Amino acid sequence: MSVKLELYKVFKEVAESGNITAAAQSLYISQSAVSQSIKQLETELQTRLFSRNSRGVSLTSEGEMLYEYVRSAMGLLETGEAKLSQTRQLQMGHLVIGASDTVTSQFLLPYLDRFHRQYPAIRIQIVSGRSHKVLALLQSGKVDVAFASTPAEPNSVDTFPCFATHSIFVAAADYPCDFKHVYTLEEIARFPLILLERKASSRLYLEKYFLQNGLRLDPEIELGARSLLVDLAAIGFGVAGVTEEFVRRELESGKLRKLKTSFSIPPRSVDLCTLQGVPLTAAARQFVSFVKDSLPDRQI
């Protein structure tokens, strides 16, 4: 096919110049090479494409029909090459990121803002979902990069730690508990607990820790949205298990207070995840570098 493509290039140039000599000069090849190319193409297509005249050559009716298709095809190829070049130079492109609403609002926003200002031609799409969802989307190729808790099966995913998260228990400032008391696991488990629904990775992680210590969590309220969990805790519905990094404003404002505990749940990492062995698009590659290079200056 590559050989025939060269023949079509010669054919197009001869058709547009109407002269073998002019076509040869434009293509930087000899006149005999042009003539041989046209003869080879006519032989392969079993039709006459040009007729000679006093000024050079002109297309036959069959040649005119072929020329319209060749001109269109060559135009599409040139457009494709131009767009590919623009993509490499980040003058255009599409970046799809998978992340939870919380990670997007609490961590990604500054990166997205700065990246968009620097590369305004890149169209950015955010697909919202918890860790298990965005990792599944990454595996299926529906997102370019994902921000998720460290995957359970890291073999197919390359990860880069972005920040650590810590599980704590909080309640409203006027909740009937002793904020000076140091609570044990058993005492925490006896509170009316407000937790995220079980498909949330942070909920599963919390349950796993308690089970390892011989306790089962039986929450009074299970919710799908972190914001609602915070709101219900703030009006005294119970003690909420939350991620400390995502409730700092509420803790600083006094809307929520942290319970002291005799135990410390090991932190988890939220990682930038990419699919192992799959080349990134130019836009995704630049965004990954952008985040990695910026991380030392960013603290949650």
Characterize the bridge pairing of strands 157-165 and 145-149: unpaired
In whole angstroms, give the CA distance from residue 9 to residue 37: 10
Helix, strand, or coil (residue 182): strand
State the Rg of the chain over Cα: 32
Q: Does domain 167-266 have CATH number 3.40.190.10?
A: yes
The confidence score (pLDDT) of residue 3 equals 54
User: Is-contact 93 122, C-beta < 8 A?
Assistant: yes
Mean pLDDT by 10 residues, the chain (300 residues): 77 92 91 93 92 87 91 77 60 83 91 90 90 88 89 76 94 96 97 92 92 95 91 96 93 96 94 89 88 68
Q: Which residues of 252-264 are buried (b: 16+ CB within 10 A; e: fewer)?
A: eeebbbebebeee
* Domain boundaries 2-88, CATH class: mainly alpha
Q: Alpha helix (H) ranges present in 191-281? A: 201-212, 226-234, 248-253
Select 95-161+270-297's CATH number: 3.40.50.300, 3.40.47.10, 3.40.50.10800, 3.40.190.10.
Answer: 3.40.190.10
In whole angstroms, give the CA distance from residue 276 to residue 283: 17
In whole angstroms, give the CA distance from residue 123 to residue 118: 12
The confidence score (pLDDT) of residue 119 equals 87
Q: Where in the chain is the domain with CATH 1.10.10.10?
A: 2-88
The confidence score (pLDDT) of residue 84 equals 64
DSSP designation for 244? G
Q: Where in the chain is the domain with CATH 3.40.190.10?
A: 95-161+270-297, 167-266
The confidence score (pLDDT) of residue 279 equals 85
In whole angstroms, give the CA distance from residue 195 to residue 239: 9
Residue 90: C-alpha distances to residues 282, 284, 287 (Å): 7, 10, 11
In whole angstroms, give the CA distance from residue 268 to residue 248: 17
The confidence score (pLDDT) of residue 1 equals 47
The confidence score (pLDDT) of residue 86 equals 55
